[in-house]
Amino acid sequence: MSTKQMVRLGRGVAAAGMFLLAVWVFHAPRPVEAQPSYLDVFRAAYPQAIGTKLDNCTLCHTSLATHDRNPFGAAFHAANHDVSNPAFLNADSDGDGWTNAQEIKALSFPGDPADQPAVGEIRSTSPLVSSALDLNRAGSVATAVTLVANTMAGLNVDVLPLDARTGTSPVTVTFAGVTRAGTTTLATGDAGPAAPPGFAAGRPAVFYELATTAGFSPPVTVCIRFAGTAFSDPSHVGLFHFEGGAWADRTVSVDPAAEIACGRVTSLSPFAVFERTDFSPPTSTAISSPPPNDNGWNTGRGITVELAASDDPGGSGVAEIRFTLQGAQAGAGAVVCDHASLFISAEGTTTLTYGAVDRLGNQEPARRLVVRLDRTPPLLAGLPATGCVLWPATHRLVRVGTVIVSDLLSGLAMRWPDIQVQSNEPELGLGDGDIAPDIVVEGGTIFLRAERSGRGTGRVYSITARATDRAGNAGIATATCLVPHDPGR
Write out pLDDT tens, residues 62-74.
Answer: 866 666 888 988 8
352 φ/ψ sector (left φ>0, alpha ψ -120 to 50, else beta):
beta
Count other Cβ atoms within 10 Å, centred on residue 25.
Answer: 8
**Cα(98)–Cα(104) distance, integer angstroms:** 10
- Residue-wise pLDDT for 263-277, tens only, equals 999 999 999 999 999
**Closest of 99, 137, 129, 143 to residue 117, by C-alpha:** 99
Report the pLDDT value the prediction gives residue 26, as an integer from 0 to 100.
33
pLDDT at 127 over 70: no
Q: What is the predicted pLDDT for the residue at 88?
A: 82
Residue 455 has pLDDT above 90, yes or no: no
C-alpha distances (whole Å) from 3 to each of 8, 9, 19, 28, 243 are 9, 10, 24, 37, 104
Residue 137 has what pLDDT?
Answer: 27
Cα separation, 375 vs 299, in Å, equals 5
Look at 227 and 133; give whichever has higher pLDDT: 227
Q: Give pLDDT, residue 6.
A: 35
Instruction: Name residues whose C-beta falls within 8 Å of residue 202's C-beta, 6 or more positions apart in sequence.
Output: 226, 229, 230, 231, 237, 273, 274, 275
pLDDT at 24 over 60: no
Distance spanning both ends of the chain, measured CA to CA: 191
Q: What does the pLDDT look like over 343-366, one tens digit per residue?
A: 999 999 999 999 999 999 999 999
Residue 488: partners with Cβ closer than 8 Å, 6 or more residues away: none
Q: Please tell me the least confidently modeled range out of 1-15, 76-90, 158-172, 197-211.
A: 1-15
In order, the DSSP letters of 179-216 are EE-EEEEEEEES--SPPPTTEEE-BS--EEEEEE-SEE
pLDDT one-digit tens code per residue, 255-309: 999 999 999 999 999 999 999 999 999 999 999 999 999 999 999 999 999 999 9
Q: How far apart are CA 79 and CA 102, in angstroms?
A: 18
β-strands 388-389, 474-484: how paired? parallel
How many angstroms separate the CA atoms of 382 and 388, rounded?
Answer: 13
State how far the Cα of 253 lies from the Cα of 234, in Å rounded to an integer. 12
Residue 118 has what pLDDT? 67
Question: Nearest 5°: phi and psi at 338?
Answer: -100, 15
pLDDT at 101: 82
CA angle 336, 337, 341 (to 5 degrees): 95
pLDDT band at 59 (very low <50, low <70, confident <90, very high): confident
| Least confident span in 13-17, 68-72, 176-180, 481-485 | 13-17
Q: pLDDT (tens digit, 9 = 90+) per residue, 144-161?
A: 333 344 699 999 999 999
Query: From start to end of 145-298, where are the E strands?
Result: 150-151, 154-159, 171-180, 182-189, 199-201, 207-212, 215-225, 237-243, 246-249, 251-255, 260-265, 270-276, 283-289
Domains present along the chain, CATH in parentheses:
32-120+130-138 (no CATH), 149-277 (2.60.220.50), 283-373 (2.60.40.10), 379-484 (2.60.40)
- By C-alpha distance, which of 212, 226, 142 is closest to 177? 212
Spatial contact of 75 and 145, defined as CB atoms under 8 Å apart: yes
